[in-house]
A and B are shown apart, each in its own frame.
Chain A
Amino acid sequence: MLKVLGRLLILLLAATLVAGVTYAVVQNVQFSLPGGRGGDGFGGQIAPGGGNANGSTAPDLAERPRGGRGQMLSDGEFRGGELEGGSVFGWVEVIKSLGVIAFVTAGVVLVQKTYARPRKPKKPAAGAQPGS
């Protein structure tokens, strides 16, 4: 049990390390972008419609339509689009994922078979004498 807890701790530490690096990179990217938020870390001030108050063409972050076609209501509820789920588009996403997996698997199997073929020992033809 202690062994499993130790492994779990190592796993969590590794995940925290990756998350920390990701956070640092994202912060760095935001600082270097024109119209970046530059300090507070929350609540960007980009306006919708392809232009900011400072003239930047960066898309508005604060007013962006997050989650595709969804809409946030004033009471905090989200309605519409992929926020509700159960749409036909959801099944298309599943099929797309399965398609990617099937495509890659087929490619790898094909490559494996191609490289495995020369290694197969040749069967002597029926009736052929040994050594001929």
Chain B
Amino acid sequence: MDALKRRNPNLTNLWVDVLVFAGMLAVFAPGLTGLLIHEWLGLAFGVTAGVHVLLHWQWIAGITRKFFTRASWGARFNYLLNAAIFIGFTVVIFSGVMESRFVLQTFGLNPPDERTWELLHRLSADLTLFLTALHIAVHWRWIWNWVKKLRRLPRRAPGTVSQPVLAAGPVKIED
């Protein structure tokens, strides 16, 4: 039983968040990736963001149940902010698909020639970037604490087996 590895949910969350953040930076820079990668990466980002939401499902369900009764104002603000980000990213991805040149063609569809989708895509992307920045800012203390904790790890336990495991795949930690 000692050999069993257990998950550290906070560390899992942190690394999924890092992945989502890096993906978001890449997706928000089509000039860097090119349009083809931008479109497919945008869809992949949607999946990763979905994993991010699933990892925090218990919190979402908890606040949903007590939103109008016992939830704190901070939790309510967070909930509404997250809902806005969800709507924002859904609109960004959907409008991106509607004006896409490569994704729709892959499925044998032609994008409608409507500037509205392009305008909506840009506007919602700008707004969602701001909301995501706010989301990161609200959780800044948690992120910063984890960064400090990770930086301290090698000094705390030099030469132990758990170090490389933590660095390479932080989900599993030796007992």
**Residues of A in contact with B (beta carbons under 8 Å apart):** 4, 7-8, 11, 14-15, 18-19, 22-23, 26, 29-30, 37, 41-44, 46, 59, 61-62, 64, 66-68, 70, 72, 78, 82-87, 89-94, 97-98, 100-101, 103-105, 107-109
Find out whether the CB atom of A82 lies under 8 angstroms from the CB atom of B91: no
One of B2-10, B12-20, B116-124, B162-170 at the interface: B116-124
Q: Which residues of A contact B98 (CB under 8 A)?
A: 23, 26
> How many residues of chain B get a CB closer than 8 Å to chain A's CBs?
45
**A91 to B101 CA separation, bound complex (whole angstroms):** 23
| Nearest opposing residue in chain A for B120, CB measure | A26
Q: Given A18-B91, A18-B94, A67-B35 in contact, is the A103-B120 Cβ separation under 8 Å? A: no
Subset of 12 A-B contacts with CB under 8 Å: A14-B90, A26-B117, A44-B115, A46-B115, A67-B101, A90-B31, A93-B29, A93-B30, A93-B32, A94-B29, A97-B28, A97-B29
CB-based nearest B residue for A104:
B133
Assess the A85–B35 pair: CB atoms within 8 A.
yes
Alpha-carbon distance between A23 and B10 when the two chains are bound, in angstroms: 37
Establish whether residues B136 and A66, one from each chain, have CB atoms under 8 Å apart when the complex forms.
no
The chain B residue sitting closest to A20, CB to CB, is B94
Query: Within 8 Å of chain A (Cβ to Cβ): is B75?
Result: no
Q: Is the CB of A85 within 8 A of B31?
A: yes
Of the candidates B33, B90, B91, B140, which one forms a contact with A108 in the assembled complex, judged by CB atoms under 8 Å apart?
B140
8 Å CB interface, B1-59 against A: 24-26, 28-38, 50, 53-54, 57
